Structure 1
């Protein structure tokens, strides 16, 4: 017997090996493997543009707060935002357009935040405390000082003040109306609620100006607690019966 193998059979085995689909199957299994890295979908041009715009608005807001309206330089805004001067000019072709956009942005954020708080405060046992907190965040924060800086700028900004005065005024009135509705919904007569709201906002606004010469948060907290006590006593004496008891508990 010969130990040699039939060359035809050998050739068939070799050809079978060469034609084996195993490598291709292996490649497919890798592609279908759950370990394949996942990539986030690419942002659209509109999304990238909106991100750049918000970066510029945030940078301008920060710089106006730090340096005032007169110290605002568009080239510095682009630098702080981390974008090119060309990108800034694409979104805001002038300093005037940039500042109008900043104030619009500031008012939109303030309105959304404050009206949401006013709605949530309808279930609060102490809506006056909620009003003080909301007013504190605005009047002692950056946004109010930005509006104040522009309002107190020189005559060269008359056109800017004229363009922005109406919508900033309307934003504050709309926020006050939302808080007034919250107080009325708690059972306080509308005129009394209006008086309490106006006095509370005036007190917080007055402290915001005082902060320019004396930054004393502890004093602010203490005096606002005194004011809340005064309001509770006033409401208890002004609202008879059931509402008087409610005023004492709050």
Structure 2
């Protein structure tokens, strides 16, 4: 029992270090963008040594992919919780649309938009982040199937409706970069809610 204690402490310390690095990476990307996010600044922000960071993430591409994966895993958990509330009739579809807009008009969207833009011309980064992105979409489709059953709609139709909703949120998120007009975005969101009701009611 005692012999395994140091190993357990080391594992806990290692997990904590990894968590610090990933958080620091996401904060740095959000504030500066991927291209300007340097590993020395990430190390400084995380409060660890460069060697400790390299032990967990030998390359910047692996670091970014792991950070984005962590971000998306957390988002999937949040979306699943909201979808479950909808399925339990604790929240309406309108509430769910508003929740998605909140997520895709803030930190999550800005970070993912930045890494997708960078991955377009960076082959190493693209190879690292594409599997992460595909896993995210697979997880969402599983949520749609589990929490959005509908008697008049097939699984494919439900997935199409909700994935279209996600695409709309992303498109609106892009516009927030150049357009500061909450009324404009509220109007689009309210109009989309009426379309969803026409499909689900």
Give TM-score scaled by structure 1 length.
0.67
Q: Kindly indicate whether the alpha-carbon contact (under 8 Å) linking 1:100 and 1:164 is maintained by their aligned counterparts in 2.
A: yes
1:94-105 matches, cutoff 5 A: 94-105=59-70
Count of equivalent residues: 194
Match of 1:193 in 2: 158
Match of 1:38 in 2: none
Q: Kindly indicate whether the alpha-carbon contact (under 8 Å) linking 2:86 and 2:93 is maintained by their aligned counterparts in 1.
A: no
Residues 1:58 and 2:26 are matched in the alignment: no
CA 1:175–1:155: 2 relative to 1, 3 Å? closer
Match of 2:3 in 1: none
Q: CA deviation at 1:175?
A: 0.8
CA 1:137–1:44: 2 relative to 1, 3 Å? farther
**Structure number with bigger Rg:** 1
In structure 1, distance between residues paired with 2:91 and 2:152:
12
Q: Kindly indicate whether the alpha-carbon contact (under 8 Å) linking 2:144 and 2:158 is maintained by their aligned counterparts in 1.
A: no
In structure 2, distance between residues paired with 1:155 and 1:130:
34
Aligned alpha-carbon RMSD (Å): 2.7
CA 1:101–1:111: 2 relative to 1, 3 Å? same
In structure 2, distance between residues paired with 1:88 and 1:187:
51
Residues 1:121 and 2:78 are matched in the alignment: no
CA 1:103–1:188: 2 relative to 1, 3 Å? same
Give TM-score scaled by structure 2 length.
0.81
Q: CA deviation at 1:182?
A: 2.3
In structure 2, distance between residues paired with 1:189 and 1:235:
8
Residues 1:211 and 2:180 are matched in the alignment: no
In structure 2, distance between residues paired with 1:114 and 1:165:
21
Match of 1:36 in 2: none
Q: CA deviation at 1:47?
A: 1.5
1:1-250 matches, cutoff 5 A: 44-124=9-89, 127-153=92-118, 157-184=122-149, 186-190=150-154, 192-232=157-197, 234-235=198-199, 247=201
In structure 2, distance between residues paired with 1:147 and 1:139:
10
CA 1:50–1:78: 2 relative to 1, 3 Å? same
Q: Kindly indicate whether the alpha-carbon contact (under 8 Å) linking 2:104 and 2:173 is maintained by their aligned counterparts in 1.
A: yes
Q: Kindly indicate whether the alpha-carbon contact (under 8 Å) linking 1:65 and 1:146 is maintained by their aligned counterparts in 2.
A: yes
In structure 2, distance between residues paired with 1:159 and 1:95:
10
Q: CA deviation at 1:205?
A: 1.6
In structure 2, distance between residues paired with 1:83 and 1:218:
44
Q: Kindly indicate whether the alpha-carbon contact (under 8 Å) linking 1:127 and 1:183 is maintained by their aligned counterparts in 2.
A: no
User: Which blocks of at least 5 consecutive residues in structure 2 are unaligned?
Assistant: 1-5
Equivalent position SS for 1:59: helix
Q: CA deviation at 1:151?
A: 2.0
